[in-house]
Structure 1
Amino acid sequence: MGGPELVSWLVVGVCGGTGCYCLGRLRRLPPGGRQGRALEGAMGLAMALMAAGMAGGPAAPAGVLVAVSATTVLGAALPLGLRARHRAHHAVEGAGMLYMALAMGGAAGAHAAHGGPSGAAPAGVPVLSGALLVYCALYALRTAPRLVPAGTAQRGAGDVGLGAGEDEVAVACRLALTLGMVAMVLVM
């Protein structure tokens, strides 16, 4: 096992663990704070299923991945307890997952119809994949410094740290899922 297969299995572990953790914390949150964590949990588990299929493991049906991705996009549109920027991030990542599920499903079907292996050629539109990579990379670069404690020398003078009501675990979950998305797009 090496290369993309190993990366895919690492994404399965990180995203699956993050999804389970987010869903496990739901009952300890007030009702207004559950939407974001539920979206992150569903996204993490869907990403783990998608990455398992990319690694050669049991693949989830494309319809399930499309349904979860579409639900994430629609769920992010509801203004229940999430700031607009947080909702926009979930909508972009959900749309990215929807794009990957459709691209991988189409590539697998096309290669299977020609008798070739499902991973023989990259899937997706390079411009969309590139845009998703740029968004996720910029989000990670913007978010990661927020996890550095306020008193350390690495923080810049303009950094504001965590927003009101945000905890480090929620920010770390979003960062882990974003980095998982980067890995999946690169392996796709």
Structure 2
Amino acid sequence: MHGPATVGWLLVALCAVTGLSCVLRARGAGCGQQAEARSEAAMGFAMAAMAVPVLWGGTPTLHKASAWAFTAVFGVLLMRELWLMLMATGRHGSTSCAQQLHHLLGGAAMVYMALAMALGAPAGGAGAHHAEAGGVPVVTGALLAYFAAYVLWTGTRLMPAATGAGRPALAGHHGGTRAVAPPVVRRTGVAAGCRVAMGAGMFAMLLTV
């Protein structure tokens, strides 16, 4: 993907840490939440691999091979998300359905980016470090707008969870009390934080298409 190598490695770190957080979140989670966390972990690690600058700074052959390989990987993830959404239809509430749609759109966005890289010719011939934009401007713009809005909306929803009332309190060292979020709230906050990080990663990667 074209862009500074430093930005690429930062994306690798962000997506890899997000994927690891999702793996840890899957431990001890319920069946539905475990499947969701595993899906997000797979997406995070795949995004981290795709953002590795070395894959896009070599020969045109390496560039094409990497792009088509990621197209296949994200295509499989997209099909898995579609299957999970169909299986969940009628069994969960609107919130779960909305989250499944978000996962589906995320998978579609990654397939779109991989295809754009596969169909876009490397600029400058052999040894080029950049690629010509291969995406459709309208589609790229719509995806950028969606993920920007999603990150802002989900991020603002995290703030009340940190300051909301009605949480259990524990006695402090000096006789005072401090609010402590119950485990379910903490798990929800971690999940939302992972989605914010992954959405930000999607947004940054779309900028490089």
Query: For residue 158 of structure 1, what is the aligned residue in structure 2?
Result: none
Q: How does 1:29-178 map to 2 (within 5 A)?
A: 29-53=29-53, 56=57, 61-77=66-82, 78-79=84-85, 80=88, 83-107=96-120, 110-111=121-122, 115=126, 117=128, 119-150=130-161, 152=163, 167-178=188-199
Q: Retained in 2: the 8 A contact 1:5–1:56?
A: no
TM-score normalised by the chain length of structure 2: 0.71
Query: Structure 2 vs 1, CA of residues 56 and 48 (structure 1 numbering), >3 Å: closer, same or farther?
Result: farther
**Structure label with greater radius of gyration:** 2
1:187 Cα deviation after fit:
2.2
Query: For residue 157 of structure 1, what is the aligned residue in structure 2?
Result: none
Count of matched residue positions in the alignment of Structure 1 and Structure 2 = 174
Q: Retained in 1: the 8 A contact 2:56–2:129?
A: no
Query: Structure 2 vs 1, CA of residues 20 and 64 (structure 1 numbering), >3 Å: closer, same or farther?
Result: farther
Letter in 2 for 1:92: L
Q: Retained in 2: the 8 A contact 1:12–1:48?
A: yes
Query: For residue 183 of structure 1, what is the aligned residue in structure 2?
Result: 204
Runs of 4+ in 1 over 6 A off after TM superposition: 57-60
* Secondary structure of the structure 1 residue equivalent to 2:130: coil
Higher strand proportion = 2
User: How big is the alpha-carbon RMSD for the aligned residues of Structure 1 and Structure 2?
Assistant: 3.0
Supply the distance in 1 between the matched residues of 2:130 and 2:117 (Cα, whole angstroms): 9
Supply the distance in 1 between the matched residues of 2:159 and 2:149 (Cα, whole angstroms): 17
1:119 Cα deviation after fit:
1.3
TM-score normalised by the chain length of structure 1: 0.79
Runs of 5+ consecutive residues of structure 2 not aligned to the other structure: 165-183
Letter in 1 for 2:152: L
Supply the distance in 1 between the matched residues of 2:31 and 2:158 (Cα, whole angstroms): 25
1:55 Cα deviation after fit:
6.6
Runs of 5+ consecutive residues of structure 1 not aligned to the other structure: 154-163
